[in-house]
Chains A and B, each alone.
Chain A
Amino acid sequence: DSGVTQTPKHLITATGQRVTLRCSPRSGDLSVYWYQQSLDQGLQFLIQYYNGEERAKGNILERFSAQQFPDLHSELNLSSLELGDSALYFCASSVVSTLFNEQFFGPGTRLTVL
Protein backbone atom coordinates (compact mmCIF):
# COMPACT_ATOMS: atom_id res chain seq x y z
CA ASP A 1 0.00 0.00 0.00
CA SER A 2 1.57 3.26 -1.20
CA GLY A 3 -0.55 5.48 1.04
CA VAL A 4 -2.11 7.21 -1.97
CA THR A 5 -5.83 6.58 -2.30
CA GLN A 6 -7.96 6.96 -5.38
CA THR A 7 -11.70 6.75 -5.74
CA PRO A 8 -13.58 5.22 -7.37
CA LYS A 9 -11.68 2.09 -8.40
CA HIS A 10 -13.87 1.54 -11.40
CA LEU A 11 -16.11 3.88 -13.33
CA ILE A 12 -18.35 3.02 -16.25
CA THR A 13 -20.09 5.81 -18.06
CA ALA A 14 -21.41 6.82 -21.46
CA THR A 15 -20.01 9.07 -24.15
CA GLY A 16 -20.70 12.73 -23.59
CA GLN A 17 -20.83 12.40 -19.83
CA ARG A 18 -18.67 14.06 -17.17
CA VAL A 19 -16.87 12.30 -14.34
CA THR A 20 -14.68 13.27 -11.42
CA LEU A 21 -11.78 11.19 -10.18
CA ARG A 22 -10.49 11.80 -6.69
CA CYS A 23 -7.04 11.38 -5.21
CA SER A 24 -5.77 11.71 -1.66
CA PRO A 25 -1.97 11.95 -1.45
CA ARG A 26 0.21 10.43 1.21
CA SER A 27 0.26 12.35 4.45
CA GLY A 28 2.73 15.22 4.12
CA ASP A 29 3.07 15.03 0.34
CA LEU A 30 2.52 18.40 -1.31
CA SER A 31 2.77 17.37 -4.95
CA VAL A 32 0.14 15.48 -6.84
CA TYR A 33 0.55 14.12 -10.37
CA TRP A 34 -2.02 12.64 -12.72
CA TYR A 35 -1.10 10.06 -15.35
CA GLN A 36 -3.18 8.29 -17.97
CA GLN A 37 -2.43 4.72 -19.04
CA SER A 38 -4.13 3.61 -22.23
CA LEU A 39 -3.43 0.95 -24.82
CA ASP A 40 -2.90 3.57 -27.51
CA GLN A 41 -0.81 6.15 -25.68
CA GLY A 42 0.90 4.15 -22.95
CA LEU A 43 1.62 5.95 -19.69
CA GLN A 44 1.34 9.69 -20.13
CA PHE A 45 1.74 12.57 -17.72
CA LEU A 46 -1.31 14.79 -17.59
CA ILE A 47 -0.80 17.45 -14.95
CA GLN A 48 0.99 18.26 -11.70
CA TYR A 49 -0.09 20.32 -8.72
CA TYR A 50 2.08 21.53 -5.90
CA ASN A 51 0.49 22.83 -2.73
CA GLY A 52 -2.65 23.90 -4.52
CA GLU A 53 -1.05 25.45 -7.58
CA GLU A 54 -0.65 24.03 -11.03
CA ARG A 55 3.03 23.26 -11.60
CA ALA A 56 3.18 21.54 -14.99
CA LYS A 57 0.93 20.38 -17.78
CA GLY A 58 1.47 17.48 -20.08
CA ASN A 59 -0.72 16.01 -22.77
CA ILE A 60 -3.93 16.94 -21.07
CA LEU A 61 -6.95 17.54 -23.26
CA GLU A 62 -8.93 20.76 -22.94
CA ARG A 63 -11.92 18.63 -21.92
CA PHE A 64 -9.96 17.60 -18.85
CA SER A 65 -9.24 19.77 -15.85
CA ALA A 66 -7.85 19.27 -12.38
CA GLN A 67 -7.43 21.04 -9.11
CA GLN A 68 -5.81 20.55 -5.76
CA PHE A 69 -7.71 21.62 -2.69
CA PRO A 70 -6.42 23.18 0.57
CA ASP A 71 -6.43 19.77 2.24
CA LEU A 72 -4.15 18.66 -0.64
CA HIS A 73 -6.53 16.15 -2.17
CA SER A 74 -6.92 16.48 -5.90
CA GLU A 75 -9.68 15.91 -8.41
CA LEU A 76 -9.43 15.22 -12.12
CA ASN A 77 -12.51 16.22 -14.07
CA LEU A 78 -13.15 14.63 -17.43
CA SER A 79 -15.97 16.01 -19.55
CA SER A 80 -17.60 15.31 -22.92
CA LEU A 81 -16.21 11.84 -22.62
CA GLU A 82 -15.25 9.90 -25.72
CA LEU A 83 -14.58 6.22 -26.23
CA GLY A 84 -10.87 6.96 -26.45
CA ASP A 85 -10.85 8.34 -22.92
CA SER A 86 -11.21 4.82 -21.58
CA ALA A 87 -8.03 4.24 -19.61
CA LEU A 88 -6.47 3.69 -16.23
CA TYR A 89 -5.91 7.01 -14.49
CA PHE A 90 -3.20 7.12 -11.88
CA CYS A 91 -2.56 9.67 -9.23
CA ALA A 92 0.89 9.90 -7.65
CA SER A 93 2.25 12.05 -4.87
CA SER A 94 5.63 13.18 -3.62
CA VAL A 95 6.89 15.38 -0.83
CA VAL A 96 8.63 18.15 -2.73
CA SER A 97 8.38 18.59 -6.45
CA THR A 98 11.77 20.05 -7.29
CA LEU A 99 14.02 17.69 -5.35
CA PHE A 100 14.31 14.01 -5.83
CA ASN A 101 11.52 12.24 -4.08
CA GLU A 102 9.91 9.03 -5.12
CA GLN A 103 6.51 9.41 -6.68
CA PHE A 104 4.15 7.05 -4.90
CA PHE A 105 1.37 5.82 -7.11
CA GLY A 106 -2.20 5.14 -6.13
CA PRO A 107 -4.03 2.01 -7.29
CA GLY A 108 -5.63 3.88 -10.18
CA THR A 109 -9.17 4.46 -11.39
CA ARG A 110 -10.24 2.39 -14.35
CA LEU A 111 -12.55 4.43 -16.56
CA THR A 112 -14.65 2.72 -19.17
CA VAL A 113 -16.59 4.89 -21.61
CA LEU A 114 -19.32 3.04 -23.49
Chain B
Amino acid sequence: AQTVTQSQPEMSVQEAETVTLSCTYDTSESDYYLFWYKQPPSRQMILVIRQEAYKQQNATENRFSVNFQKAAKSFSLKISDSQLGDAAMYFCAYRSLTGTASKLTFGTGTRLQVTL
Protein backbone atom coordinates (compact mmCIF):
# COMPACT_ATOMS: atom_id res chain seq x y z
CA ALA B 1 0.00 0.00 0.00
CA GLN B 2 1.13 3.50 -0.70
CA THR B 3 1.87 5.95 2.08
CA VAL B 4 2.28 9.71 2.00
CA THR B 5 4.28 11.56 4.64
CA GLN B 6 4.24 15.26 5.42
CA SER B 7 6.80 15.84 8.12
CA GLN B 8 6.00 19.51 8.76
CA PRO B 9 2.81 19.88 10.83
CA GLU B 10 3.07 23.66 10.69
CA MET B 11 4.93 26.23 8.66
CA SER B 12 4.99 29.99 8.72
CA VAL B 13 5.91 32.47 6.01
CA GLN B 14 5.88 36.23 5.72
CA GLU B 15 3.74 37.85 3.12
CA ALA B 16 5.54 38.13 -0.25
CA GLU B 17 8.13 35.55 0.77
CA THR B 18 8.61 32.01 -0.54
CA VAL B 19 7.88 28.83 1.37
CA THR B 20 8.39 25.17 0.55
CA LEU B 21 6.21 22.39 1.94
CA SER B 22 7.66 18.89 1.98
CA CYS B 23 6.07 15.60 0.99
CA THR B 24 7.51 12.14 0.59
CA TYR B 25 5.73 9.01 -0.49
CA ASP B 26 6.32 5.32 -0.63
CA THR B 27 5.28 3.22 -3.59
CA SER B 28 6.49 0.35 -5.73
CA GLU B 29 4.62 1.62 -8.78
CA SER B 30 6.25 3.44 -11.65
CA ASP B 31 3.25 5.39 -12.89
CA TYR B 32 1.07 7.48 -10.64
CA TYR B 33 -0.17 11.00 -10.03
CA LEU B 34 0.68 13.35 -7.21
CA PHE B 35 -1.37 16.29 -6.03
CA TRP B 36 -1.35 19.16 -3.62
CA TYR B 37 -4.71 20.16 -2.19
CA LYS B 38 -5.44 23.28 -0.18
CA GLN B 39 -8.01 23.32 2.60
CA PRO B 40 -8.78 26.86 3.83
CA PRO B 41 -10.82 27.52 6.98
CA SER B 42 -13.98 26.98 4.91
CA ARG B 43 -12.93 23.29 4.78
CA GLN B 44 -13.39 23.12 1.02
CA MET B 45 -10.76 20.91 -0.65
CA ILE B 46 -9.18 22.79 -3.55
CA LEU B 47 -6.74 21.28 -6.03
CA VAL B 48 -3.61 23.41 -6.21
CA ILE B 49 -1.36 21.48 -8.56
CA ARG B 50 -0.81 18.01 -10.00
CA GLN B 51 2.13 16.07 -11.36
CA GLU B 52 2.21 13.00 -13.56
CA ALA B 53 5.03 10.68 -12.51
CA TYR B 54 6.12 9.98 -16.09
CA LYS B 55 6.74 13.67 -16.72
CA GLN B 56 10.18 14.86 -15.71
CA GLN B 57 9.20 18.51 -15.98
CA ASN B 58 8.00 20.01 -12.73
CA ALA B 59 4.45 21.31 -12.78
CA THR B 60 3.78 25.02 -12.31
CA GLU B 61 0.55 26.90 -11.67
CA ASN B 62 1.08 30.63 -11.30
CA ARG B 63 2.77 31.15 -7.91
CA PHE B 64 2.73 27.44 -7.13
CA SER B 65 5.34 25.01 -8.35
CA VAL B 66 6.57 21.58 -7.38
CA ASN B 67 9.94 19.94 -7.08
CA PHE B 68 9.31 16.35 -8.11
CA GLN B 69 12.18 13.96 -7.42
CA LYS B 70 10.96 10.56 -8.54
CA ALA B 71 13.99 8.56 -7.43
CA ALA B 72 13.87 10.12 -4.00
CA LYS B 73 10.05 9.83 -3.90
CA SER B 74 9.80 13.46 -2.97
CA PHE B 75 7.18 15.98 -4.04
CA SER B 76 7.55 19.40 -2.45
CA LEU B 77 5.35 22.44 -3.05
CA LYS B 78 6.85 25.89 -3.43
CA ILE B 79 4.64 28.92 -2.93
CA SER B 80 6.16 32.13 -4.21
CA ASP B 81 5.10 35.66 -3.28
CA SER B 82 2.95 34.30 -0.45
CA GLN B 83 -0.36 36.00 0.15
CA LEU B 84 -2.64 36.11 3.18
CA GLY B 85 -5.12 33.99 1.24
CA ASP B 86 -2.59 31.17 1.04
CA ALA B 87 -3.06 30.48 4.74
CA ALA B 88 -4.60 27.01 4.90
CA MET B 89 -3.93 23.33 5.45
CA TYR B 90 -2.07 21.79 2.56
CA PHE B 91 -2.37 18.10 1.79
CA CYS B 92 -0.15 16.05 -0.44
CA ALA B 93 -1.96 13.17 -2.15
CA TYR B 94 -1.06 10.13 -4.22
CA ARG B 95 -3.15 8.40 -6.81
CA SER B 96 -2.30 5.02 -8.27
CA LEU B 97 -2.80 4.29 -11.94
CA THR B 98 -2.98 0.54 -11.57
CA GLY B 99 -6.21 -1.34 -11.16
CA THR B 100 -9.62 0.20 -11.44
CA ALA B 101 -9.65 2.23 -8.25
CA SER B 102 -8.56 5.82 -8.32
CA LYS B 103 -8.68 6.75 -4.69
CA LEU B 104 -6.50 9.46 -3.25
CA THR B 105 -4.12 8.66 -0.41
CA PHE B 106 -3.44 11.78 1.63
CA GLY B 107 -0.68 12.88 3.92
CA THR B 108 -1.43 14.31 7.35
CA GLY B 109 -1.23 17.88 6.15
CA THR B 110 0.82 20.99 6.81
CA ARG B 111 -0.80 24.06 8.30
CA LEU B 112 0.60 27.17 6.64
CA GLN B 113 0.42 30.51 8.41
CA VAL B 114 1.06 33.70 6.49
CA THR B 115 2.16 36.70 8.54
CA LEU B 116 2.37 40.38 7.70
Contacts and interface: CB of A to CB of B under 8 A. Distances in A.
A-B interaction: yes
B44 A97 contact: no
A48 B104 CA distance: 11
Contacts of B108: 42
Secondary structure at the B interface, as helix, strand, loop or mixed, is loop
Contacts, number: 56
B52 interface: yes
Contact of A55 (B43, B44, B95, B100): B100
B99 to A, nearest CB: 8
B102 A102 contact: no
B44 to A, nearest CB: 6
Interface string B24-56: 000000000100000000111111001010000
B102 A107 contact: no
Contacts of A107: 42-44
Nearest to B45: A105
Nearest to A58: B103
Interface residues of B, number: 23
Q: Closest 3 A-B residue pairs measured CB to CB?
A: A56-B101, A105-B45, A43-B106
Interface of A: 2, 31, 33, 35, 42-45, 48, 50, 55-56, 58, 88, 90, 92, 94, 97-98, 100, 102-103, 105, 107-108, 110
26 contacts: A31-B102, A33-B103, A33-B104, A35-B104, A42-B106, A42-B108, A42-B109, A43-B91, A43-B109, A48-B101, A55-B100, A58-B103, A90-B45, A92-B45, A100-B33, A100-B50, A100-B52, A100-B95, A102-B47, A102-B50, A105-B44, A105-B46, A107-B42, A107-B44, A108-B43, A110-B43
